[in-house]
Structure 1
Amino acid sequence: MLYETISWYKGFIVKAILVLCSFSCFMKNPMSMGLLLMFYSFFVSFLIGSIMLTSWFCIIIMLMMIGGLLVIFMYISSISSNEKFKVSLNLFFVLMFIIFPFEEFLFEFHSFDYINMLNDLDLYESFFLVSFYNKSCFCLTAFMVFYLIFTMIVVSSVVKHFKGPLRSFKYE
């Protein structure tokens, strides 16, 4: 029962990734493309988290992607024109009717056994994965976290809000 639930979950995520990839051809607004890329990174990290039984790898990928997307989102929103976001529901339904009937032909997750595949690769016995958050590395990890927080606070207090790299949003 659990294997069928996990298999359905992976199949749903792969179908969602496929739908998002097919939507990317029709996006014209840079804000909608950024939103699409954010959802795509969510689904890819969920898929990696369900394949690999450790969650730290998908969390790190998610944090890196969201951090980069926030920077890109700010720069694009400051230079793009303010046009209305139009959603075509007809296009959405057409893509759904094209993709979902062929789900059995596209992906067959019941034939793969991801857990045995990962055990054969010996990923869990790797030194890096085992000692990532060991007690000996805890002091170094805590120092890095506090150093990054301190650096973020210092940089945000040094930067002047009205003379930053982005255009000012003064409404008259």
Structure 2
Amino acid sequence: LTKIIVLTLSSTMNMNFIKMNHPMSMMFIIIIQTLFIGMIIGNLMESFLLSYILFLTFIGGMLVLFIYITSIASNELFNIKINNWIMNSSFTILLFLFFLILDFTIMMDNFKNSDTKMFSKNFTFQEMSISLYKLYNNPTFMITIIMMMYLFLTLLVVVTITNIYKGPMRKMN
């Protein structure tokens, strides 16, 4: 049921994004869409680690974009139209019912093959754990550690370069 709700809201957000003309509302929809994508990936992978990392990366980029857009369009007003709101709510209800009926028919087909489904789940979990073992095992663990140290060093260099007491990075007129 949660997958149905997430898919319904995600589809509704896609339809709303087309109609938006204010940059702040577009950013808000992109941030919500990022949350939905993270939830969908977390449900598909059976481990929320990848979706959490992806979500944090996307949100970091979105916050930079959010600061840029707020400095550009700070005094524009939102125009909320009642007709669009009514149409979006009816579209959401219809889409929810469609996904609910679709999920019920797929679920009825899967009752016949429940053993196959359990085997598929176990195989996916074993496949994912094997790929994690490869990342931290003997030949590749040095590359992983070097990459972590490189990223930490890059973080320290960026913090040192952008020290707030030395002024802005660009020249002011």
Q: TM-score, normalising length from structure 2?
A: 0.70
Aligned residue for 1:124, secondary structure, equals helix
Q: Counterpart of 2:43 in structure 1: which amino acid?
A: S
**Structure with greater helix percent:** 2
The one of 19, 33, 47 equivalent to 2:40 is 47
Contact 1:52 1:118 in 2 (8 A): no
Instruction: Please state how far the C-alpha of 1:47 moved relative to its aligned partner.
Output: 1.0
Quote the Cα distance in structure 1 between the aligned partners of 2:124 and 2:77.
51
Structure-1 residue corresponding to 2:89 = 96
Quote the Cα distance in structure 1 between the aligned partners of 2:98 and 2:51.
28
Contact 1:45 1:59 in 2 (8 A): yes
Identity %: 20
Structure-1 residue corresponding to 2:61 = 68
Q: Counterpart of 2:58 in structure 1: which amino acid?
A: M
Contact 1:41 1:62 in 2 (8 A): yes
The one of 151, 154, 160 equivalent to 2:157 is 151
Structure-1 residue corresponding to 2:11 = 18
Quote the Cα distance in structure 1 between the aligned partners of 2:122 and 2:46.
9
**May I ask how many residue pairs the two structures share in their alignment?**
158
Instruction: Please state how far the C-alpha of 1:67 moved relative to its aligned partner.
Output: 1.8
Contact 2:10 2:36 in 1 (8 A): yes
> Which ranges in structure 2 are unaligned for 5 or more consecutive residues?
111-116
Quote the Cα distance in structure 2 between the aligned partners of 1:12 and 1:102.
10
Structure-2 residue corresponding to 1:124 = 128
Q: Counterpart of 1:49 in structure 2: which amino acid?
A: G
Quote the Cα distance in structure 2 between the aligned partners of 1:118 and 1:91.
45
Cα distance change, pair 151–93 in 1 and its aligned pair in 2 (3 A): farther
Instruction: Please state how far the C-alpha of 1:61 moved relative to its aligned partner.
Output: 1.4
Q: Counterpart of 1:31 in structure 2: which amino acid?
A: M
Q: Counterpart of 1:79 in structure 2: which amino acid?
A: I
Contact 1:20 1:36 in 2 (8 A): yes
Q: TM-score, normalising length from structure 1?
A: 0.71
Quote the Cα distance in structure 2 between the aligned partners of 1:66 and 1:51.
20
Of the two, which has the highest radius of gyration? 2
Deviation readout 1:41-100 (Å, 9 max, x if unpaired): 111111111111112211121122112212222222223352112333542232111231
Contact 2:46 2:125 in 1 (8 A): no
Instruction: Please state how far the C-alpha of 1:155 moved relative to its aligned partner.
Output: 3.0
CA RMSD of the aligned region, Å?
3.5
Aligned residue for 1:69, secondary structure, equals helix
Structure-1 residue corresponding to 2:113 = none
> Which ranges in structure 1 are unaligned for 5 or more consecutive residues?
1-7, 168-172
Structure-2 residue corresponding to 1:160 = 167
Instruction: Please state how far the C-alpha of 1:118 moved relative to its aligned partner.
Output: 8.0
Quote the Cα distance in structure 2 between the aligned partners of 1:118 and 1:20.
34
Quote the Cα distance in structure 2 between the aligned partners of 1:47 and 1:61.
12
